[in-house]
């Protein structure tokens, strides 16, 4: 038994390395596909559609939206989204009153809510979403929008 111990330890170490390598390869593949989508089209609608498709394909998230911040930085407007919430396109969120989206615009930092029901400043609950991840879209240091991804599953990210 004593002689099997190093073999078992080596096998476990190799297994962990293989899992890390597999995760890294998956991340690189996704990055490559997103990069390819971004350079393949100059049309913003096509580009957003390709990014949404990659996010949905690789991660399975149900609700994806891009909000654009107006010139005066008073509102973020829902400009692009998936079919599930297309009726909300054009919705304006007032910065400062806008829950997670507004918080991301104000802070310039991503925000992850594993359970949106626990977020005290969460905005209106039109959907049955359980978790949300919002990422600021910046050009240099200016926030121009927010990529918002939501899931019907708790702690989905």
pLDDT one-digit tens code per residue, 39-95: 666 677 887 887 888 788 777 777 889 999 998 888 898 898 887 778 888 888 888
Contacts of 151 (CB under 8 A, 6+ apart): 61, 62, 63, 129, 130, 131, 132, 157
Is the pLDDT assigned to residue 126 strictly greater than 60?
no
pLDDT at 146: 92
Check residues 97 and 88 and name the one with the higher pLDDT: 88
Segment 18-28, tens digit of pLDDT: 788 877 787 77
Closest CA to 132 of 52, 61, 84: 61
Q: Give the position of tokens 């919705």.
A: 91
Check residues 46 and 110 and name the one with the higher pLDDT: 110
Three-state DSSP class for residue 131: strand
Is the pLDDT assigned to residue 125 strictly greater than 60?
no
pLDDT at 26: 74
């Amino acid at each position: 038994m004593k002689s099997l111990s190093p073999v078992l330890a080596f096998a476990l170490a190799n297994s962990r390395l293989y899992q890390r390598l597999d995760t890294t390869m998956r991340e690189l593949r996704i990055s490559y596909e997103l990069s390819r989508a971004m350079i393949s089209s100059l049309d913003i609608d096509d580009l957003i559609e390709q990014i949404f498709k990659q996010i949905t394909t690789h991660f399975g998230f149900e609700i994806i939206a891009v909000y654009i911040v107006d010139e005066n930085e008073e509102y973020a407007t829902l400009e692009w989204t998936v079919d599930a919430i297309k009726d909300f396109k054009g919705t304006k969120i007032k910065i400062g009153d806008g829950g997670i989206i507004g918080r991301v615009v104000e802070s310039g930092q991503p925000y992850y809510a594993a359970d949106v029901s626990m977020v005290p400043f969460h905005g209106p609950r039109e959907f049955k979403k359980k978790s949300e991840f919002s990422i600021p879209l910046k050009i240099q240091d200016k926030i121009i929008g927010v990529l918002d991804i939501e899931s019907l599953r708790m702690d989905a990210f």
